A and B are shown apart, each in its own frame.
Chain A
């Protein structure tokens, strides 16, 4: 099968420089792993039989995994023989897209990348925007099995379908036209519509709209904006895009659930359905008060995202400002600010949060404040180091020579050029904040116990570990998935924003 005239290095280089090859192997391996996990879960030790539903899904995953690995083999053969992927192999991507029916985003995203020969950031973003909407639609559709649905369910579902259709059109248009150096003028309409659909919480649609507008305004004169560069690099890393996909999925679900989910399933006790196993009516089962775990986790996403984002945003702003002032003015200012923050730094975050909550009582607002205070020193240190580095650069001296004030030098010239590490750091610490939130809730120190926050759900579930372990497992999986997504995104952002590459 190998071409004898090629050296091992050449083959290795060809395989490495082809993104589809890596994506195919990644998707294949992850799908096999998921299939095995599902298979193990479908087996019931007590009766020695398999649960038919889970088993069917597992088989479907195995089928797509084998298909994906076959395609991977074909890609490898094409690359070794011809140095590029053949059209027939690419066409197989359309078959793999069917894996979306089993909610396998790994194979589906690899397939979308495979069918397009010349990829660009706009295409990738359009694919992910559409995927997000489709996934949210599918998850929301589980409500159909409930005894009744929310008032806004039908209009909400209709809006989701409309959004999906619009995004599909946008995907086809970007696939056809985004390769050109100068975009046609009517693309502005597409961009506008995409930004409108971003109201559902779809970050991909928002970024795509902004990217298209930036390219329209640029008219192909420059080589691209800095944002475009970052998006371009980020879109090449499939793990960070998958991370962003899950975050956007949760965000969209959190926003659309305002309309499409009935809150009463999550908070009202229903003693006729206590501790039910997962079924179509209750996809993840019910807890000891008969509340639907699926609805509770969807509502919990709202709290977790909100607390995670706020308790990162507040210290980024405060710590960033303190660090910037400290790094720019130096000397006594620096000394005083940094020594004061050293004190805060010496208390571990969770312990400080416990002390603050002990003093002011457990509530969501106190929790956000408690987590924020503990995170200020880290951000201040990061910002200070950056500002100190940037303020020695020539353009800062030039600005000073032109008589710019300290304030405008600091906030117009220095801070915008030193935020990149802050963004990376914050994306990595949102995950930590989510873990801290649920840990504190688990201890009874976080969100009020009646609110379905993931830590609270887990706390209730942990009492039924022996008999109904799923009540503790599912919320934990949700936490891990969200934190893992933020970590993947953070890693990807670090690579994309790494100043060393520039």
Chain B
């Protein structure tokens, strides 16, 4: 059957078959593979069953079992297991009933017998080439046939897509990471929705006021689908998140997605700019501190960094307003998108914590790296201080720093609510805070979930950056 295949086609088929076999080992991928290529797999399975029946596989199993049973192996194993158990119980001073010992011994013996049977069978199969049959082997021999390959490509293309993803370690890693992100996002939606669902608050009464009648409240609940069962509402929410249509907000009856689309860019722009500025400031400070550990310079900067970590955003914002807006009148106190001067204070306030965290992390991570052996080697080679530091130390010290930046960016986006309130910025954070008193469920849902989605995407990018920058992770991925 395989005779017609050309050498090139055979090599390709072998590679596909190898990926197929490898995927079958992994429980999740096995399931996906079997499902994605169900029609192909059915054919392969039918052929497999047919060949197995034809080649006397079952007879071989029966024969080996009988041979082993006749040799008295089972009784010997049982006896052995029983003795071991008795010795073990004596050693630990446990008293165990006869019946239980017997049961445990039988279980152990059965396990061992099974293993012995498998071993014998494998030996026998190795001797007889006709019996070397497995599902993946059947697929390999079938894939050698160009006709079958073409047919299976047509009817089982999702399976080949999956295999293509699996074959390349990078694409496999990215696909797995994205899949996890999607799961996490649905998890976030589920948690936030559930929290708001079991809330004892009554948005209808809060919006319609104390005087609302029961009918009015019922009508309100019906209008926004609040009278639906939990699962229906949850399903609607999931669908809304995917289709970017989360309905109307309770107060003001505005489209939630439009509102979020208006507010989100403001917050995102401010946080991204302050992240960039923070990194530009923090990296040199951290590196210089690390190259002069325990100096006056180091102590001063690390003290300032710790101070930066300890200042509450809102207080810092108030002090800035007091000094730069009220006393000195240099900068406007409230944010105005048309005036870039008004963005300076919010950006500085947002970035303080990140600057401090990144500077501290840069210092400790660079300090750790410059005590490694390869730095000594680089110095011994006669490289200049500058070259050692920038080429060998900083590159490797960057990895934990990227982690901190990723984590802090998330915190910053989430914590922006406070800064936005202080500077009167109409961003996503202050939107959520404004809506929570009702509580306006669609608005809060949308705000939290889309923020979480943004953070998840940033984290995916950070993870992928590792995979491409860190040689250690890269080499680990090759065996992945």
Pick from B318, B417, B444, B456: contact of A346, CB below 8 A. B456
Stretch in A203-211, A294-302, A461-469 with 4+ CB within 8 Å of B? A461-469
| Contact of A438 with B312 in the complex, beta carbons under 8 Å | yes
Closest chain-A Cβ to B331's Cβ sits at a distance in Å of 15
A354 to B418: give the CA distance in the assembly, Å.
Answer: 11
Pick from B195, B432, B452, B456: contact of A359, CB below 8 A. B195
| Contact of B188 with A343 in the complex, beta carbons under 8 Å | yes
Tell me whether A179 is interfacial, beta carbon within 8 Å: no
Please name all residues of chain A whose beta carbon is closer than 8 Å to the beta carbon of B442 when the two chains form the complex: none
Tell me whether A342 is interfacial, beta carbon within 8 Å: yes
Please name all residues of chain A whose beta carbon is closer than 8 Å to the beta carbon of B415 when the two chains form the complex: 348-350, 439
Stretch in B61-69, B153-161, B198-206, B250-258 with 4+ CB within 8 Å of A? B198-206
Known contacts: A339-B183, A487-B306. The answer to whether A439 contacts B414 by CB under 8 A is: no
Tell me whether A70 is interfacial, beta carbon within 8 Å: no
A465 to B334: give the CA distance in the assembly, Å.
Answer: 14
Tell me whether A357 is interfacial, beta carbon within 8 Å: yes
Stretch in A146-154, A164-172, A473-481 with 4+ CB within 8 Å of B? A473-481
Closest chain-B Cβ to A302's Cβ sits at a distance in Å of 19
Tell me whether B25 is interfacial, beta carbon within 8 Å: no
| Contact of A442 with B455 in the complex, beta carbons under 8 Å | no
Tell me whether A336 is interfacial, beta carbon within 8 Å: no
A487 to B303: give the CA distance in the assembly, Å.
Answer: 11
| Contact of B188 with A360 in the complex, beta carbons under 8 Å | no
Tell me whether B337 is interfacial, beta carbon within 8 Å: no
Tell me whether A356 is interfacial, beta carbon within 8 Å: yes
- The chain B residue with its CB closest to the CB of A435 is B312
Q: Which of A354-374 contact B (CB under 8 A)?
A: 354-361
| Contact of B191 with A476 in the complex, beta carbons under 8 Å | no
Known contacts: A347-B448, A442-B418. The answer to whether A355 contacts B201 by CB under 8 A is: no
B interface: dominant SS: helix
| Contact of B321 with A359 in the complex, beta carbons under 8 Å | no
Q: Which of B178-197 contact A (CB under 8 A)?
A: 180, 183-185, 187-188, 190-192, 195-196
| Contact of B418 with A348 in the complex, beta carbons under 8 Å | no
Please name all residues of chain B whose beta carbon is closer than 8 Å to the beta carbon of A438 when the two chains form the complex: 312, 314
Chain A interface size range = 35 or more
Tell me whether A340 is interfacial, beta carbon within 8 Å: yes
| Contact of B417 with A351 in the complex, beta carbons under 8 Å | yes
Please name all residues of chain A whose beta carbon is closer than 8 Å to the beta carbon of B410 when the two chains form the complex: 348
| Contact of B188 with A351 in the complex, beta carbons under 8 Å | no
Tell me whether B464 is interfacial, beta carbon within 8 Å: no
Tell me whether A101 is interfacial, beta carbon within 8 Å: no
Tell me whether A484 is interfacial, beta carbon within 8 Å: yes
Please name all residues of chain B whose beta carbon is closer than 8 Å to the beta carbon of A356 when the two chains form the complex: 195
| Contact of A340 with B432 in the complex, beta carbons under 8 Å | no
Known contacts: A466-B326, A480-B312. The answer to whether A359 contacts B191 by CB under 8 A is: no
Closest chain-A Cβ to B281's Cβ sits at a distance in Å of 20
How many residue pairs, one in A and one in B, have C-beta atoms under 8 Å apart? 147
| Contact of A480 with B310 in the complex, beta carbons under 8 Å | yes
A359 to B187: give the CA distance in the assembly, Å.
Answer: 18
Pick from B195, B294, B307, B436: contact of A484, CB below 8 A. B307
Closest chain-B Cβ to A318's Cβ sits at a distance in Å of 16
Please name all residues of chain B whose beta carbon is closer than 8 Å to the beta carbon of A458 when the two chains form the complex: 314-315, 318
Tell me whether B313 is interfacial, beta carbon within 8 Å: yes
A397 to B435: give the CA distance in the assembly, Å.
Answer: 55
Q: Which of B309, B310, B448: most chain A Cβ within 10 A?
A: B310
Closest chain-B Cβ to A325's Cβ sits at a distance in Å of 20
Closest chain-B Cβ to A69's Cβ sits at a distance in Å of 14
- The chain A residue with its CB closest to the CB of B419 is A439
Known contacts: A442-B418, A458-B315. The answer to whether A347 contacts B306 by CB under 8 A is: no
| Contact of A355 with B418 in the complex, beta carbons under 8 Å | no
| Contact of A469 with B417 in the complex, beta carbons under 8 Å | no
| Contact of B188 with A347 in the complex, beta carbons under 8 Å | yes
A479 to B309: give the CA distance in the assembly, Å.
Answer: 12
Tell me whether B276 is interfacial, beta carbon within 8 Å: no
Tell me whether B311 is interfacial, beta carbon within 8 Å: yes
A403 to B96: give the CA distance in the assembly, Å.
Answer: 15
Q: Which of A339, A358, A439: most chain B Cβ within 10 A?
A: A358
Please name all residues of chain B whose beta carbon is closer than 8 Å to the beta carbon of A355 when the two chains form the complex: 192, 195-196, 432, 436, 444, 448
Tell me whether B248 is interfacial, beta carbon within 8 Å: no
Q: Which of B411-457 contact A (CB under 8 A)?
A: 411, 413-415, 417-418, 421, 429, 432-433, 435-437, 439, 444, 447-448, 451-452, 455-456
Tell me whether B92 is interfacial, beta carbon within 8 Å: yes
Tell me whether B266 is interfacial, beta carbon within 8 Å: no
| Contact of B312 with A439 in the complex, beta carbons under 8 Å | yes
Tell me whether B46 is interfacial, beta carbon within 8 Å: no
Pick from A339, A349, A361, A476: contact of B315, CB below 8 A. A476
Tell me whether A431 is interfacial, beta carbon within 8 Å: yes
A358 to B180: give the CA distance in the assembly, Å.
Answer: 28
A366 to B313: give the CA distance in the assembly, Å.
Answer: 22
Closest chain-B Cβ to A259's Cβ sits at a distance in Å of 30
- The chain A residue with its CB closest to the CB of B449 is A347
| Contact of A342 with B180 in the complex, beta carbons under 8 Å | yes
A323 to B247: give the CA distance in the assembly, Å.
Answer: 39
Tell me whether B319 is interfacial, beta carbon within 8 Å: yes
Please name all residues of chain B whose beta carbon is closer than 8 Å to the beta carbon of A491 when the two chains form the complex: 306
Pick from B184, B313, B326: contact of A343, CB below 8 A. B184
Known contacts: A342-B180, A344-B191, A466-B326. The answer to whether A480 contacts B196 by CB under 8 A is: no
A480 to B180: give the CA distance in the assembly, Å.
Answer: 39
Please name all residues of chain B whose beta carbon is closer than 8 Å to the beta carbon of A343 when the two chains form the complex: 184, 187-188, 190-191
Closest chain-A Cβ to B324's Cβ sits at a distance in Å of 12
Please name all residues of chain B whose beta carbon is closer than 8 Å to the beta carbon of A431 when the two chains form the complex: 309-310
Pick from A340, A348, A442, A462: contact of B413, CB below 8 A. A348
| Contact of A346 with B185 in the complex, beta carbons under 8 Å | yes
Tell me whether A130 is interfacial, beta carbon within 8 Å: no
Closest chain-B Cβ to A307's Cβ sits at a distance in Å of 14
Please name all residues of chain B whose beta carbon is closer than 8 Å to the beta carbon of A342 when the two chains form the complex: 180, 184, 187
Tell me whether A445 is interfacial, beta carbon within 8 Å: yes
Please name all residues of chain B whose beta carbon is closer than 8 Å to the beta carbon of A483 when the two chains form the complex: 309-312
A469 to B192: give the CA distance in the assembly, Å.
Answer: 39
Please name all residues of chain B whose beta carbon is closer than 8 Å to the beta carbon of A472 when the two chains form the complex: 315, 318, 322
Please name all residues of chain B whose beta carbon is closer than 8 Å to the beta carbon of A354 when the two chains form the complex: 417, 432-433, 436, 444, 448
Closest chain-B Cβ to A461's Cβ sits at a distance in Å of 8
Q: Which of A57-100 contact B (CB under 8 A)?
A: none
- The chain B residue with its CB closest to the CB of A466 is B326
Known contacts: A342-B180, A343-B191, A483-B310. The answer to whether A473 contacts B444 by CB under 8 A is: no
Please name all residues of chain A whose beta carbon is closer than 8 Å to the beta carbon of B311 when the two chains form the complex: 480, 483
Known contacts: A348-B451, A354-B436, A403-B92. The answer to whether A480 contacts B315 by CB under 8 A is: yes
Please name all residues of chain B whose beta carbon is closer than 8 Å to the beta carbon of A21 when the two chains form the complex: none
Interface mask (B43-66 → A, CB under 8 Å = 1, otherwise 0):
000000000000000000000000
| Contact of A346 with B455 in the complex, beta carbons under 8 Å | yes
8 A-B pairs with the lowest CB-CB distances in the bound complex, closest first: A348-B414, A343-B187, A359-B199, A358-B436, A476-B315, A483-B310, A351-B414, A484-B310
Q: List 19 A-B contacts (CB under 8 A).
A: A340-B187, A343-B187, A347-B191, A348-B410, A348-B413, A348-B455, A349-B414, A350-B417, A351-B414, A351-B417, A354-B436, A354-B448, A359-B195, A359-B198, A439-B313, A442-B418, A443-B433, A473-B319, A476-B315
A residues near B, CB below 8 A? 16, 339-340, 342-344, 346-352, 354-361, 403, 431, 435, 438-439, 442-443, 445, 458, 462, 465-466, 469, 472-473, 476, 479-480, 483-484, 487-488, 491
B residues near A, CB below 8 A? 92, 180, 183-185, 187-188, 190-192, 195-196, 198-201, 294, 306-307, 309-315, 318-319, 321-322, 326, 410-411, 413-415, 417-418, 421, 429, 432-433, 435-437, 439, 444, 447-448, 451-452, 455-456, 459
Seed contacts A348-B413, A439-B415, A465-B326; 20 additional CB < 8 Å A-B pairs: A342-B187, A346-B184, A347-B191, A348-B415, A349-B414, A350-B415, A350-B418, A351-B447, A355-B192, A355-B196, A355-B432, A358-B196, A360-B200, A361-B200, A442-B314, A443-B433, A445-B433, A458-B314, A480-B315, A491-B306
